[in-house]
Amino acid sequence: MPDESPNHGGDAPSDPSGARSSDSVAALIGDTVVLDTAGPTVFLGRLRAVTADGFWLDDADIHDRTDGHATKELYVCEAREHGIRSNRKSLFVCREAVIAVSRLSDVIID
């Protein structure tokens, strides 16, 4: 079972290349984030914890663009403007699924 406790400093897990990328992501704990994937799914929520295996989000939203008309980018921009439509109290996202992490507040709306 993954460690559900927040990682506040301490020893963050290293990635296989030896870099400590989790240290950078751990700085986002408590922030509302966007976890982007290479596929049609995007995850939004408040980052609770970063583990070696992935990311714990609270008050989370899973959006699959194949279920609607909005592209991932449009959906994220709408969430930035109007707030997240949470559909999960808590959610674990596997690290392998994620290609990019950013604060929702860093999303630029044209």
Q: Where are the domains of the chain?
A: 21-104
Residue bearing tokens 């950078």: 24
Number of CB atoms found within 10 A of residue 58's CB: 16
Q: What is the pLDDT along the chain (110 residues), one digit of tens a residue?
A: 444 444 444 343 444 444 445 678 999 999 999 999 999 999 999 999 999 999 999 999 999 988 877 889 999 999 999 999 999 999 999 999 999 999 999 999 98
CA 45 – CA 64 distance, rounded (Å): 15
Q: What is the DSSP letter of 66?
A: G
CATH 3.40.350.10 fits 21-104, yes or no: no
